[in-house]
């Protein structure tokens, strides 16, 4: 359930009718996972455009909707979302869902040539969480510090055409390895 809340927090939508919830993703496996996590099986819709396919599930569940509201989610949450009431023991699962929704794991190699002609190869790794809400990303950072003892760094992007910035919580290689080992604790 905590994983599903992480996905709904990032890629989900609570409709203002106080009962409908939807989730949209380019990743079909993600949609299948949330259906399993919530033990609901609505039809998966497919939208195709020039950028590819996106998958969507929409369902009605007043109890779940009200519970999501009670922990801090709201309709039209993108810019206004703040702290959520996630128990510490489930925060890793929530964070994994948040990462799968609006996060990224990046790996690459950098090669440097030394003055003596030798070559050094460095494996790089970073984990990023993204939100349009500064309050939410700051809360996310404080919870990661509290629970996992890794800080990451906050960055703000330049404003887009409609005046909104994005906020990024980025972890370097050592912190990323520590964080990933906490939120992907199972071989499954």
The per-residue pLDDT for 160 is: 67
The rounded distance, in Å, linking the Cα atoms of 39 and 45 is 18
Residue 188, domain member (yes or no) = no
Closest CA to 58 of 88, 23, 87, 28: 23
Which tokens sit at 89?
């023991």
pLDDT of residue 188: 65
Please give the residue range of the domain that contains residue 119: 2-183
The verdict on residue 95 lying in a domain is: yes
Distance CA 112, CA 119 (A): 6
Number of domain units in the chain: 1
Going by their DSSP bridges, the two strands 167-171 and 119-131 should be labelled as antiparallel
* Distance in Å from the first CA to the final CA of the chain: 16
Is 81 a member of any domain? yes
Could you report the average pLDDT of every consecutive run of 10 residues in the chain (188 residues)?
A: 92 91 90 86 89 90 94 85 95 94 90 81 92 94 96 86 84 94 81
Beta bridge partners of 7: none
Q: Tell me, what's the pLDDT at 49?
A: 82
Cα 80-171-38 angle, rounded to 5 deg: 55
Compute CA distances 11 → 77, 92, 178, whole Å: 11, 18, 25
Q: Is residue 26 part of a domain?
A: yes
> Is residue 72 domain-resident?
yes
The pLDDT assigned to 66 comes to 95
d(CA 41, CA 44): 8
Q: What is the CATH number of the domain that holds 160?
A: 3.10.28.10
Q: How many CA atoms lie within 13 A of 174 on its CB side?
A: 3
The pair of structure tokens assigned to 24 is 């949209």
């Amino acid at each position: 359930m905590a994983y599903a809340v992480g996905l709904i927090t990032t890629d989900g939508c609570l409709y203002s009718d106080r009962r409908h919830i939807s989730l949209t993703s380019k990743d079909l496996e993600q949609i299948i996972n949330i259906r399993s996590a919530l033990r609901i099986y609505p039809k998966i819709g497919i939208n195709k455009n020039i950028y590819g396919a996106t998958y969507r599930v929409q369902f009605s569940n007043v109890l779940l909707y009200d519970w999501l509201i009670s922990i801090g989610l709201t309709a039209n949450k993108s810019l206004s979302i703040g702290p959520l009431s996630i128990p510490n023991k489930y925060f890793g699962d929530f964070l994994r869902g948040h990462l799968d929704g609006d996060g990224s794991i990046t790996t690459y190699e950098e090669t440097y040539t030394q003055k003596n002609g030798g070559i050094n190869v460095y494996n790089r790794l970073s984990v990023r969480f993204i939100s349009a809400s500064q309050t939410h990303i700051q809360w996310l950072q404080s919870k990661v510090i509290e629970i996992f003892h890794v800080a990451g760094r906050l960055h703000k992007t330049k404003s887009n055409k409609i005046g909104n910035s994005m906020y990024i919580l980025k972890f370097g290689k050592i912190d990323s390895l520590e964080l990933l080992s906490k939120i992907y604790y199972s071989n499954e």
